[in-house]
Amino acid sequence: MRLLFVGDVVGRSGRAIVLDRLPGLIERLGADFVVVNGENSAGGFGITETIHSDLIDAGADVVTTGNHVWDQREALVFITRTPTLLRPVNFPAGTPGTGAGVFTARNGARVMVINVLGLVFMQALDDPFAALEREIAACPLGEGADAIIVDVHAEATSEKQAIGHFLDGRASLVVGTHTHVPTADHMVLAEGTAYMSDAGMCGDYDSVIGMDKDEPLSRFTSKIPSARFEPALGPATLSAVLVETDDATGLAVRIAPVRVGGRLSETIPDW
């Protein structure tokens, strides 16, 4: 089975390239299941119901989020009736929505997706390791699910790597989001879990992590906020990662980055 994970969609430019290029990528790569992180898709902050629907229509099977999940207040309402939108699983009990689910792939396989928020330099939520252990124990790879994808929305690469090793052999893919820069450490870990510290963003890379450069530069040099952050609107790059799994075990056989459009060098797996 082939799993395609698309990194954080940032603003209008990021949405445009995903909506334009994702359907063709799915066909070209033979992707059976697609996850898109959409937490920055609405003006760089949060997600709306309309944007969620547009991403699903473009080919996403599930949309994950992160620390900006509630920036658009409507998300608190529509997430309760939208099982294909996940918020971090380690929010406290009673938080609207859910952080994990089992979904049906194009080939009929059962794919579990878990969205979790890291704690290092992030808001204080419940222990991500305990939350992941609980979800994996309830739906083990090869029993309750044919593949398991974990979106680790976190600042620290050390925390992401630790979660990758914690789940090695028990998940198909552990992939980081949030820092908006694609890393070069895509690999299959010792026990068969595909891993990448950050899938990168879908947005304009002539920016500061997707935002127009002027205000971040002003804040770094003057230490004084002068305006709100606005997404950069230039040509975007779609950044993603493709994983092929062994149908017998659900573990990864190979992993490769995917980048199309915009300023970054293009790379599309030829397998």
H helical segments located in 59-142: 75-78, 128-138
Catalytic residue among 52, 68, 178, 180: 68
CA 90 – CA 226 distance, rounded (Å)? 34
Write out the two tokens for 129.
């390791």
Report DSSP state, residue 208.
Answer: B
Is-catalytic flag, 68? yes
**β-bridge partners, 117:** 153
Write out the two tokens for 27.
């066909």
Q: Name the strand (E) or helix (H) holding 253.
A: strand 252-260
CA-closest candidate to residue 33, choices 170, 191, 132, 147: 147
> Counting Cβ atoms within 10 Å, is residue 187 exposed (0-12), middle (13-18) or buried (19+)?
middle
CA 245 – CA 64 distance, rounded (Å)? 21
**Which residues are tagged catalytic?**
68
